[in-house]
Copies of this chain bind each other. A is one copy, B any other.
Amino acid sequence: MNKDRKISAPVIRRLPRYYRFLGELIDKNIQRISSRELSDKMGLTASQIRQDLNCFGGFGQQGYGYSVKGLHDEIGHILGLDNRYKAILLGAGNLGKAMAVHLSFEKIGFRLIGIFDNDPNKVGIKINDLTVMNEDDLERFCQENHPDAAIFCVPKSSAPELLEKLYKLGIRNYWNFSHYDLAFEHDDIIVENVHLNDSLMVLCYKISDKNGQKEN
């Protein structure tokens, strides 16, 4: 891919969906797919698919479709999934534990190298092959291991202080579940927010909309 070419934010948001769907095709031993089949499955128009894929080279051949494996690997490469960014997890509560246990970090560009909590009852617990450390150890750990990213599974109230600590320790990339606006104080950090409430609200809308249609 030409690194100088800027990919727009909506296309970037769609890349993981392409990647996921193409991975399922590989599991089913499907080797080629047309833009029409891809579009049916993705809920996009065929022309939008072609436009998206043209952004980074265009793997299609007229009348012949796309190479599933070629496209999958290229999208993985564009997403940077062949990296092993070192991530630390802040918060070993239910959510933090769920992330540490269920996500296959290695498959999506990261390696989880440390888990921290300030609750003495959680420090020392083993999650996968990592032992939960005290937040007091953050400074030493970061100076020794230089993590690239931090995963914030902490309550909103703990987020500001923790952010300042990690910012001073040089961490500029955050995956944020805390509902606190991490980017507010620092415009040189990268934040990807997860707002689970938003998703549930959309479900609420869809149910209400369907019920409303029935009533009409």
- Find the B residue at minimum CB distance from A19: B201
**In the bound complex, do residue A204 and residue B79 qualify as a contact, i.e. CB atoms below 8 Å apart?**
yes
**In the bound complex, do residue B192 and residue A199 qualify as a contact, i.e. CB atoms below 8 Å apart?**
yes
Within the assembled complex, what's the spacing in Å between the Cα atoms of A79 and B203?
Answer: 9
Within the assembled complex, what's the spacing in Å between the Cα atoms of A208 and B110?
Answer: 11
**In the bound complex, do residue A204 and residue B102 qualify as a contact, i.e. CB atoms below 8 Å apart?**
no
Within the assembled complex, what's the spacing in Å between the Cα atoms of A55 and B81?
Answer: 39
A206-B190 CB under 8 A given contacts A3-B216, A15-B201, A94-B98: yes
Interface of A is mostly: helix
A17 part of interface (Cβ distance < 8 Å): yes
**In the bound complex, do residue B81 and residue A204 qualify as a contact, i.e. CB atoms below 8 Å apart?**
yes
Q: Hey, what's the 0/1 contact readout for A12-34 against B, CB within 8 Å counting as 1? A: 11011101100000000000000
Q: Hey, what's the 0/1 contact readout for A30-53 against B, CB within 8 Å counting as 1? A: 000000000000000000000000
A72 to chain B, nearest CB (A): 13
Q: Hey, what's the 0/1 contact readout for A175-192 against B, CB within 8 Å counting as 1? A: 100000000000000101
Chain B residues whose C-beta falls within 8 Å of the C-beta of A101 in the assembled complex: 94
**In the bound complex, do residue B190 and residue A175 qualify as a contact, i.e. CB atoms below 8 Å apart?**
no
**In the bound complex, do residue B109 and residue A79 qualify as a contact, i.e. CB atoms below 8 Å apart?**
no
- Find the B residue at minimum CB distance from A105: B200
Within the assembled complex, what's the spacing in Å between the Cα atoms of A207 and B147?
Answer: 13
Chain B residues whose C-beta falls within 8 Å of the C-beta of A216 in the assembled complex: 3-4
Residue from B98, B108, B205, B210 in contact with A15 in the complex, judged by beta carbons closer than 8 Å = B205
A197 part of interface (Cβ distance < 8 Å): yes
Chain B residues whose C-beta falls within 8 Å of the C-beta of A98 in the assembled complex: 93-95, 97-98
Known: A3-B212, A13-B202. 17 other contacts (CB 8 A): A16-B195, A16-B198, A79-B204, A80-B204, A83-B207, A85-B207, A94-B95, A95-B98, A97-B98, A103-B196, A105-B200, A108-B197, A108-B204, A149-B207, A190-B206, A192-B200, A192-B203
